[in-house]
């Protein structure tokens, strides 16, 4: 083969060098833009930051310590800058080398508006840094009372413990921040009361029935129920909240009434608008006898509601080990996950339901499954400081 002419080879080399230096220049310019962006953010220069982002500066560029532009703006309390960065797809989950994210940074100085913005954009309110501190703990330690109240109102978990087994309340108490500690103590009590209120609200819903048949089902009046059905009342009627008499009976745990309604044709697979059925209601409330009856009558064990919850998950949430066993014997899908990605195991770990955890492990549940936050059951246990559960998960 003939060699290319010398002048052609020369032109090719010149072209290659020009391309190489152009790329180097573009890379250097881009890197300069990125570093300039960090400086613009630190100086709260919105105009310059906006220009640099428009020119393609990397919105998620970091300093050597891992601080991103968004973490910096959150720490400084520069709301408009934070909004600008988020509008350009800044990662609200990004962390520095110590595991701190923008939400934690906002908690240090009590920048509530920025915290609100970050949460609206999907920031995990209970994320923890390397020492196990959440934004709530940081706010408590810094005596940012208003931030503590805000985070609690947004659903921050006051029961989480850090790597030294301390809660946000204990951190505040150790620093002598009495008011903040009292707010956190009250939140624990109010959270417990919220659970009670939720249960009471469900009972109140049952009482708001629209027919004498439903009222009879709620009271467990079997003789009256038979008489009403004989008069032609619809055994599958629904009230304004989409409950059937069978749902009411299953929720109340009246097995005799449940059996009677099924005898007269009640649909054991009837659903509310949210997809919840009688088996799910009985499983959540812990009515083992009713659950067993429904299962024996062929209730579908793996039906899901609108959020992909199953009866097994609801029994786990309610901490009913015997019902979990009963559902598993009927081939409940052990590794099913709801819309947040949680399985029965991650739910059991989050709620510290040790007996159910052991049952699920004995049945071979997938311990490596991750929820939508990327957490396995073991990660959740360690995050919440559940040492015994973490040990249990490790040896299985």
Q: In this structure, what DSSP letter does residue 40 have?
A: H
Residue 201: the pLDDT is 47
d(CA 91, CA 121) in angstroms, rounded, equals 10
The string of pLDDT tens digits covering residues 332-355 is 999 999 998 999 999 999 989 999
pLDDT band at 361 (very low <50, low <70, confident <90, very high): very high
Q: CB under 8 Å to 42, separation ≥6 — which residues? A: 72, 76
The answer to whether 346 and 376 are in contact (CB under 8 A) is: yes
In this prediction, residues 20-30 reach a mean pLDDT of 37
Q: How far apart are the first and last CA of the chain?
A: 68
Rg of the chain taking only CA atoms, in angstroms: 29
The domain spans of the chain are: 28-191
d(CA 88, CA 30) in angstroms, rounded, equals 16
- Among residues 349, 361, 353, the alpha carbon closest in space to that of 385 is found at 349
Q: CB neighbours (10 Å) of residue 366?
A: 14
d(CA 385, CA 348) in angstroms, rounded, equals 14
pLDDT band at 188 (very low <50, low <70, confident <90, very high): low
The string of pLDDT tens digits covering residues 111-166 is 999 999 999 988 989 898 888 999 999 999 999 999 999 999 898 889 888 888 89
pLDDT band at 99 (very low <50, low <70, confident <90, very high): confident
CATH 1.25.40.20 fits 28-191, yes or no: yes
The string of pLDDT tens digits covering residues 193-222 is 444 344 444 445 444 434 788 888 888 889
- Angstrom distances, CA of residue 378 to CA of 74, 100, 334, 352, 389: 31, 21, 17, 12, 8
As to burial, measured by CB atoms within 10 angstroms (0-12 exposed, 13-18 middle, 19+ buried), residue 248 is buried
The answer to whether 305 and 274 are in contact (CB under 8 A) is: yes
d(CA 31, CA 334) in angstroms, rounded, equals 49
């Amino acid at each position: 083969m003939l060699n290319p002419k010398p002048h052609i080879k020369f032109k090719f080399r010149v072209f290659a060098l020009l391309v190489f230096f152009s790329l180097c220049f573009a890379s250097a310019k881009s890197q300069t833009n990125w570093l300039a962006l960090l400086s613009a953010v630190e100086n709260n220069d919105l105009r310059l930051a906006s220009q640099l982002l428009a020119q393609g500066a990397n919105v998620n560029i970091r300093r050597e310590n891992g601080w991103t532009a968004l973490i910096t703006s959150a720490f400084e309390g520069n709301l408009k800058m934070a909004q600008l960065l988020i509008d350009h797809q800044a990662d609200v989950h990004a962390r520095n080398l110590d595991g701190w994210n923008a939400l934690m940074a906002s908690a240090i100085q009590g920048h509530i508006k920025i915290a609100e913005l970050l949460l609206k954009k999907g920031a995990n309110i209970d994320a923890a840094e390397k020492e196990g501190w959440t934004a709530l703990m940081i706010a408590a330690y810094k005596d940012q009372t208003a931030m503590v109240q805000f985070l609690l109102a947004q659903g921050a978990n006051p029961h989480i413990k850090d790597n030294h087994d301390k809660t946000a309340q204990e951190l505040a108490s150790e620093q002598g921040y009495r008011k903040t500690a009292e707010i956190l103590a009250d939140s624990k009590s109010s959270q417990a009361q919220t659970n009670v209120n939720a249960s009471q609200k469900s009972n109140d819903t049952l009482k708001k029935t629209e027919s004498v048949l439903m009222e009879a089902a709620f009271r467990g009046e079997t003789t009256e129920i038979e008489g009403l059905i004989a008069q032609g009342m619809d055994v599958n009627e629904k009230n304004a909240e989409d409950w059937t008499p069978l749902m009411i009976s299953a929720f109340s745990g009246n097995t005799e009434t449940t059996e009677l309604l099924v005898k007269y044709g009640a649909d054991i697979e009837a659903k509310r608008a949210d997809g919840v059925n009688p088996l799910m209601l009985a499983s959540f409330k812990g009515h083992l006898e009713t659950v067993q009856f429904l299962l024996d009558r062929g209730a579908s064990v793996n039906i899901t509601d609108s959020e992909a919850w199953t009866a097994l998950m609801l029994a786990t949430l309610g901490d009913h080990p015997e019902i979990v066993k009963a559902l598993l014997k009927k081939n409940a899908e052990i590794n099913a996950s709801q819309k947040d990605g949680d399985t029965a195991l991650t739910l059991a770990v989050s709620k510290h339901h040790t007996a159910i955890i052991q049952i699920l492990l004995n049945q071979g549940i997938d311990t490596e499954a991750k929820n939508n936050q990327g957490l396995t059951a073991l990660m959740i246990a360690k995050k919440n400081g559940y040492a015994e559960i973490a040990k249990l998960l490790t040896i299985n």
